[in-house]
Structure 1
Amino acid sequence: MSTQWEGVFATVTTPFAEDEGLDLAALESQLSRLVDRGIGGIVVLGTLGEGESLTARERGAVVRCSVRAVDGRAPLLVAVSETTTRAACRFAVECERTGADGLLVLPSPLYASDERETRMHCRSVAAAVELPVLAGAGAPVDTAAAVLGEDLGDGDEHALQSALLGARGHLSALATVCPDETIERWRLAAARRFEEAAALHRRLEPLRRALAGPKAVQAVKLAQQLAGLGGETARAPRLPLPAAERERLARLVRDARAGLAAV
């Protein structure tokens, strides 16, 4: 398959059943729905994917399910967030063998590495595979054989700036809640129709802000549930948001999903 790295890359959540067990059927449904709607790419096990809450066996199951669900219809990136560089390289090789199209390499979740250590970590993972590799926060791995580089912008907040600076796409948490709106925003921005793109961006921005912060996983999962696009369950110690936050988020989801009709 000739992979084209462009458009909106949805950073998806990992669905759980009510007993906090993996819900692979829900994951497959979520990914198939996003691809059917025209998403540019998928990122699994990222910051919103609760990868740190999964066992190694479960992470492998998520990757296999995702490869099967996407079925080559869009690029599939797997986030690599392991406590050691050796473990990260081992998981990267596993992802490559399973059929992932690229990797998003994140620093160790247990150690605050400095710049020198972070570069070593990312370069080591890139050297272990032949896949395209993107370092966390959009920083390219400059020693990889094939690199995404600056093709993908970092996040919904900078979607318009990414298009203005010539990026071919961007990572998006909002796409898991408002896929049609985020895809249309990028289409308008890439076509240099910035006034229309900005109008849609303004409608999405309050929801984006509400989905950020230390409880982003719970907020995004609740927003998905409110939009009929997923379930709310996260693994403890993450608990559901309190009533006031739930009511506010419901209002913001309604407003954001009305964005296409308003521009």
Structure 2
Amino acid sequence: MAAVFTLWHGGASAQMNHQHASEAACEETVLRCASKVMPAFSADGTLWLVWMAGGQISVASSKDEGKTYSSPVQVTRESLNLDWGPDARPKIAIDGKGRIALAFSIFRDKAFNGQVLTTQSTDGGKSFAPLRPITADNESQRFEAIAFAPDGTVFAAWFDKRNRVPARQNGKPYDGAGLFFATSKDGGSTYSDAQIVADNTCECCRLGLALDGSGRPVIVFRNIFEGGVRDHAVVTFSGPASP
């Protein structure tokens, strides 16, 4: 895979709004400048890559297991303050019909409050719809994970701090974040109202998401157990919306 990162020396230059000095090798949008890359295979064996570089999100595909790649498609239309945390990275999922769902997070302020943005492609990755927030709530969201169920539903999970403000208003401490989820019936264009799986989970580690043999989500996350002990936990679902 090392050869992949030598591709595409051209491309438009874009300045990132905020960048760790150790993260990016350069400030262009091309793959060799990427600080985060995520792969996924589609049902036909195509290898897809989504990456963040130069404050932008881009996508390309390979029909020969990574030997050569298509011309990259820039998903975003303006330079964004992308979440550069070590456990943050853009996510990509492809269904059996070739629809592509993407999700990634940005920083909205210097306090590292995030927002998860989503988009989709219905033409095989040639173009992507305008970005949408995954939820209307204005509190911080980070560390999203997405997957296509066999019936074409997109399942998404993320960490969300919406319960922080009411807890503090009631004079109660609030640790960590809530683990929330939502589903999309239109390939990732719009998502249902967010629902909570568990509150007061660890807010600084990425999620692991997979589907079981019945197409139901399974999430691995870092929880805050009694006594402040932080350790991995697993939640399964009895249905698409029933953790």
Which of the pair is proportionally richer in strand?
2
TM score, norm. by length of structure 2 = 0.30
TM score, norm. by length of structure 1 = 0.29
Which of the pair is proportionally richer in helix?
1
